[in-house]
Amino acid sequence: MSEISAVVSAHLRDVPDFPSPGILFKDIGPLIGDAQAFAAVTEHWRLRHQHRVDAVAGIDARGFIFGGALALALGVGFVPVRKAGKLPGPTVEKSYDLEYGSATLAVQRDALEPGQRVVVIDDVLATGGTARAACELIEEVDGKVTAFEVVLELAALDGRAKLSRWPVEALASS
């Protein structure tokens, strides 16, 4: 286990039966609540992506936490990938399937300049539908996805298979 994996794993909390019975929720609250652990995650990603990206995209909502911190550390802009209906102005939308239904994400049409290199960030990679939709949206507004980064991958759900077009790194796996 790498040093960053150990930091992440030590700062995750299991919450049984949330948000519904039978689900074991992986809570990142302790990770972002610990300044040193949060800084270690941000610094790990900063070193991986410095001079390689023009923007960071974070997926609604916990991806905003990590993505905003990384964008600031890299000195680049932040692109919010939000739930449909939450962004002003012209947007592009992408619907996708979840394990329990469907959802739609959106990004502002003018969020990027053509060809800008973008790393997409989220907290957990589960089935991959949300991550794939976010990466496809970035490409639809003429960005180039350089990587998809996630704090925790739920490997048994095989979400990585839906992201085969992009490099994927998970700091920890469960």
The domain of 65 spans: 52-173
4 is a domain residue = no
Q: Model pTM greater than 0.85?
A: yes
Q: What is the pLDDT of residues 122-170, one digit of tens each?
A: 999 999 999 999 999 999 999 999 999 999 999 999 999 999 999 999 9
The CATH number given to whatever domain includes residue 154 is 3.40.50.2020
Query: Is residue 103 pLDDT above 90, yes or no?
Result: yes
Domain assignment present for 58:
yes
Residue 70 lies in a domain: yes
pLDDT of residue 1 exceeding 80: no
Per-residue confidence (pLDDT) for residue 110, from 0 to 100: 98
Q: Looking at the chain, how many residues does it have?
A: 174
Q: Above pLDDT 70, what percent of the chain?
A: 99
Q: What is the pLDDT of residues 21-61, one digit of tens each?
A: 998 999 999 999 999 999 999 999 999 999 999 999 999 99
Which entry of 62, 109, 117, 160 is annotated as an active-site residue? 62
How many domains, in total, are found in the chain? 1
Catalytic-residue membership of 139: no
99 catalytic? Reply is: yes
In a domain, residue 111? The reply is: yes
pLDDT of residue 166: 98
